[in-house]
Amino acid sequence: MNGLLKGKRGIIFGALDENSIAWKVALKAHEQGAIFTLTNAPVALRMGEINKLAEKCGTIVLPADATVVEDLEKLILDSVAHLGGKLDFVLHSIGMSPNVRKGKTYTDLNYEWMNKTYDISAFSLHKTLQTCKKLDALNEWGSVLTLTYIAAQKAFPGYGDMADAKATLESIVRSFGYYYGVDKKVRVNSISQSPTMTTAGSGIKGFDTFFGFADKMSPLGNASAEACANYCITLFSDLTKYVTMQNLYHDGGFSNMGVSDAIMQLFPGEKEG
Ligand SMILES: NC(=O)c1ccc[n+]([C@@H]2O[C@H](COP(=O)([O-])OP(=O)(O)OC[C@H]3O[C@@H](n4cnc5c(N)ncnc54)[C@H](O)[C@@H]3O)[C@@H](O)[C@H]2O)c1
């Protein structure tokens, strides 16, 4: 299907390199006719990779630390000005835990770093939504999407304080989704994605092993970043106008599994009879 996002304007947060989920979303959104700005934290922009993406998508890159409201205000106003009108979609594809990154386990957290984890990985969504709402920057039926992980619902050792941040993130989706829905018919959803080989993903201890486990546990196998991008496009499109305040699993069935035959085969155990 072509032109699903024709005439739509947006902001895409979080494309760091070509493995990033946001990178794939930008390419697909461009393919489907959307216009948008790209943004990332100033420190991430220093890598310079994102400029290649901007060139491919015929757009500009605007720096913004998503934890700083003044940065968000400028980003949103500049995006509206550059794109020539109010926005129809926002992708919030941001996550980082200093504790996870520096190898601090869940039972030995540094609480200053934990605040950072929350600020970057959860509160930044609230700040983005609140700033968009105050500036009245989103059109009616606009769509805001964030990326999350099932460690918000179930225990996944190694995911550390990111699990708590994701649980908060998903709660913000519901709470803000209510207010934005009532006031402006804007929808807010999270996509709970399979483990994916990206910078954020592979920062988790034992990620490679876990990636294989999730793949064997999921009837459809792990969902790729590209497949995730396709799902994002449908949620930005007018075909999903009444979906809001949801946590949507995009995980090949993982979230509803107890155990799979493929996993059982790894543990043959005692033969009966
Ligand atoms: N990779 C996985 O296994 C997986 C699974 C489920 C959900 N997710 C989620 O998907 C989202 C995107 O991650 P990804 O896997 O594409 O990895 P990624 O590392 O490519 O993207 C994370 C992005 O967050 C940005 N970021 C960090 N701090 C920021 C700040 N202060 N302001 C603005 N941007 C900031 C980084 O620069 C980076 O671009 C994250 O929310 C992540 O938790 C990832």
Residue 149 bears catalytic tag: yes
pLDDT at 272: 59
Q: How many angstroms is it from 265 CA to the middle of ligand 1?
A: 34
CB-based contacts of 40-46 (< 8 A; 24+ apart in sequence): 40/13, 40/14, 40/15, 40/16, 40/64, 41/65, 41/66, 44/16
149 lines ligand 1 (CB under 6 A): yes
pLDDT value of position 271: 64
In this structure, the residue with its CA closest to atom 37 of ligand 1 is 44
Question: What's the confidence (pLDDT) of residue 204?
Answer: 78
Per-position pLDDT tens, the chain of length 273: 689 999 999 999 999 999 999 999 999 999 999 999 999 999 999 988 999 999 999 999 999 999 999 999 999 999 999 999 999 999 999 999 999 999 999 999 999 999 999 999 999 999 999 999 999 999 999 999 999 999 999 999 889 999 999 999 999 999 999 999 999 999 999 999 999 998 888 777 788 888 999 999 999 999 999 999 999 999 999 999 999 999 999 999 999 999 999 999 999 886 655
pTM of the model: 0.97
Alpha helices in the chain (DSSP H): 21-31, 42-45, 49-57, 69-83, 98-101, 111-118, 124-134, 162-184, 199-202, 207-217, 225-236, 261-264
Question: 141 CA distance to ligand 1 centroid (A)?
Answer: 25
Q: How far is the CA of 120 from the centre of ligand 1 (A)?
A: 10
Distances (CA, A) of 155 to 13, 28, 60, 255: 28, 33, 40, 12
* Dihedral sign (CA 3, 191, 136, 77): negative
Is the beta carbon of 94 within 6 A of some atom in ligand 1? Answer: yes
CB 16 less than 6 A from any atom of ligand 1:
yes
Does 159 qualify as catalytic in the annotation?
Answer: yes
Domain ranges of the chain: 9-255
Q: How far is the CA of 14 from the centre of ligand 1 (A)?
A: 6
Strand order in the sheet with 9-13: 61-63, 35-40, 9-13, 87-92, 138-148, 187-193, 247-250
| pLDDT given for residue 270 in this prediction | 67
Q: Which atom of ligand 1 has the smallest separation from the CA of 149?
A: 6
Best residue for ligand 1 mutational test, from 94, 145, 207 (most atoms within 8 Å of Cβ): 94
Q: Is the CB of 198 under 6 A from ligand 1?
A: yes
According to the model, what pLDDT value does residue 37 have? 98
Is-contact 230 237, C-beta < 8 A?
A: no
Q: Which CATH number is 9-255 given? A: 3.40.50.720
Residue to probe by mutation, ligand 1, list 61, 75, 147, 247, most atoms within 8 Å of CB: 147
Residue 196 CA to residue 230 CA, distance in Å, equals 15
What is the atom index within ligand 1 of the atom nearest the CA of 21?
A: 16
User: Terminus-to-terminus CA distance in the chain, angstroms?
Assistant: 56
Phi, psi dihedrals of residue 27, rounded to the nearest 5°:
-60, -45
